[in-house]
Amino acid sequence: MPGVLSIGTYLPYYRLSPATLGWPHRTSRLLASYDQDSLTLALEASRRCLVGFDRAKVDAVLFVSSSPPFIEKLSSSILAAGLRLKSDVLALDVTGSLGGFGRALSLGLGLIESNRAAYVLIATGDKRRTKPLSQLEATNSDAGAAVLLGPTGEIASVLGEGFFSSPILDAWQLAGEPYLRDTEERFVQEQGYTSALPRALDNLLKKTGLTNEAFSYACIATPEPRRLPLAIKTLKLKADSLLDEGLSRSFGFFGSSMPLFLLHEALLRASPGDLLLLAGYGDGAFAIALKAADGLLGSRPKPFPRVFKDVPSYTDALKWQGAMEYSPQARRPPIDPPSPIAMYRESEQNLALVGVRCKACGYPQYPPQRLCTRCRGMDFEKEPFADKRAQLFTYALDTLGPTPEPPLIVCFIDFEGGGRMQCLMSDADPKALKVGMPLEMSFRRLFSAGGIPNYFWKCTPLREG
C-alpha cells in the first residue's frame, strides 16, 4: 500500500521569545533568518528527507506553502533544480491555503496509485507575512517539512483521505497586499475548525470504514493549538490520542508544515500497526488515516536539532522581515540585480552547488572550471558540494557590509574530501567562530535586487542537538 518512506524537517535557528528585547508578545516563536523564505525552508527539509534516497527516482515534487515567494513562477521548479531532481520531474506548487498539505498528499498518492509516478516528494515551507504586533505574529513560526511518498509506505501506509471544502474568509492575504488579514477569533473557532474538522473526519471514516476510536495518535494541525482539547472532544477521538508533541506549546503554529511536524512526532513514538489520524485546517479541512509500518522500527525519522538563538531584538526581527525601513551601516552603493541570463546559465552550479572534479588529478573544485586549478586538465566530472561538510579556513567580520544582521561573515571554507569555496556564513554567533570549526551548507536567498531573488548557498555552523 502506498505511503510514507521518509520525513525531513527543518527549523530556523532564530527564536523570538519573552527574552527578546522589545518582543511585544508573551509567546515564543521561530523566525526564519533574513535570507530564508518558504522555498529555502522547504528545500532544507527536503534535503533531510531525501538522505540516502536516489534523487533521480523522484517523479514529482509538490511545493506546499501559504507564503510562496512568487505569485507567478513555480517555486517547485527552483526546488527541483536545487535538489538535483531529474529534468522531467513533474513540478507543481500547491499554494494559497494552510490546508494545502492534505490536498497535495492526496494528489501525490493519486499519481502513485495511477502509476503515473513512483515517488513523490511533498515539500512544505511557510514564512507567513504576519503584521507587526498582530496575534498572528505572536503564534506563527517559520519552518519547513517534507515527506517522500512511494508505492510502499515503508514507515507508514496511507489508508485514505477525507476532505471538506469551505469558502470561509478566516485568514487570507490578498494579491498585492503585504500582510495577512484575519477575522474575528470566536467566529473562526466556532464556524471554522470546530465545524470543518469533524466533517472531514466523517468523510474519512465513511471512506475507510474506520471508527473515531481506532486511532492511537491524533495529529491535528490547527492555527489555534490551545483549542485542541476542545477539538478532540468534538471529534470524539480517544481521550489520550491527542499528540502531546510540545512543538506548538513551544513555538506555536508552523503553517503548511505543521501536519508533517505532528506526523513526524507521532512516528517517533508509534509502533507498527498503530493507526494515526493526520488532520489539518485551512479553507475547510482534511483528514488522513495512516498505519505505522514495520519499516518504522529500522528507520525512525530523525528529530531536528533543537538548537536556537534568540533574535537580539524585535527591531532586528522587523528589519529581517522587511517590515521596517532603516539606514544601512555604511554608505554603500545599492546592490545591483543579478542577470537572469547568467542565473539561468549557471543554475546548476548556483542552485544545486554542483562543481567539478578533475579526472586527471582528482581534485574537486567549485565553481566549475574549464581548466583544473591544479593540473590544468580539461576533463571533468560533476561534483555536488551541497551535502558535504566543511571546515572554516579563515573568516572576517564585515561591520559595514550589506546585511540586516551585521556583521556580515565572509569566509573561506575547505570541504571534506577537498575543495575550497569563498562564501557567506549565516546562523552564527560571530564571537563563537573558530578557524577549523565544522560547517555545513544551507540554501538561502542571498539577496533580492531589482525584483530578482537570488538563491544560493551559504555555510552555517554544524547544528547538532
Identify which range of 169-177, 276-284, 304-312, 335-343 contacts other proteins by CB under 8 A: 335-343
Nearer to other proteins, 246 or 340 (CB): 340
Residue 73, by phi and psi: left (phi above 0), alpha (psi -120 to 50) or beta? left
Around 32, how many Cα atoms within 13 Å sit in the side-chain half-sphere? 31
For residue 220, list its beta bridge partners: 279
Of 227 and 420, nearer to other proteins (C-beta) is 420
- 323 counts as binding other proteins under rule CB under 8 A: no
* 397 contributes a contact to other proteins by CB under 8 A: yes
Q: Helix crossing, 38-49 with 75-82: angle to 10°?
A: 40
Binding mask 33-72 for other proteins (x = CB under 8 A): ----------------------------------------
User: C-alpha 215: how far from its chain's center?
Assistant: 27
Residue 48 and residue 10 in contact, taking contact as beta carbons nearer than 8 Å: yes
Does residue 412 belong to the site contacting other proteins (CB under 8 A)?
yes
Q: How many residues bind other proteins (CB under 8 A)?
A: 51
Cell numbers given for 189: 473557532
Q: How far is the CB of 72 from other proteins (least distance, A)?
A: 21
Q: Which three cell numbers stand for residue 236?
A: 470524539
- Contact flag: residue 335 with other proteins (CB under 8 A): yes
Give the nearest distance from C-beta 387 to other proteins in angstroms. 18
Compute and round to an integer the Cα radius of gyration of the chain. 22
Report the residue from 297, 361, 396, 462 that binds other proteins according to the rule CB under 8 A: 396
CA distance 462 to 31: 19
456 binds other proteins (CB under 8 A): yes
Q: Is 411 in the site for other proteins (CB under 8 A)?
A: yes
Type of residue found at 290: L
Could you say whether residue 370 binds other proteins (CB under 8 A)?
no
Burial of 101 (0-12, 13-18, 19+ CB in 10 A): buried
Per CB under 8 A, the segment of 35-43, 95-103, 190-198, 400-408 that binds other proteins is: 400-408
Residue 26 within binding range of other proteins, rule CB under 8 A = no
Contact yes or no for 234/242 (Cβ under 8 A) = no
Is there binding between residue 336 and other proteins (CB under 8 A)? yes
**Pairing of β 181-182 and β 171-172:** antiparallel
C-alpha grid cell, residue 323: 517590515
The interface with other proteins within residues 338-367 (CB under 8 A) comprises: 338-339, 342-343, 345-346, 350, 363, 365-366
* Cα gap 294→54, rounded to integer Å: 22
What is the footprint of other proteins within residues 81-120 (CB under 8 A)? none
Phi-psi region of 52 (alpha: psi -120 to 50; beta: other; left: phi over 0): left
Pick one of 19, 51, 307, 435: the residue that binds other proteins (CB under 8 A). 435
Of the candidate residues 202, 348, 398, 440, the single one contacting other proteins (CB under 8 A): 398
Q: At which residue does the C-alpha cell 579556513 appear?
A: 393
451 part of the interface to other proteins, by CB under 8 A: no
List of residues contacting other proteins (CB under 8 A):
330-333, 335-339, 342-343, 345-346, 350, 363, 365-366, 369, 373-374, 393-402, 407-408, 410-412, 414-415, 418-424, 430, 435-436, 446-447, 454, 456
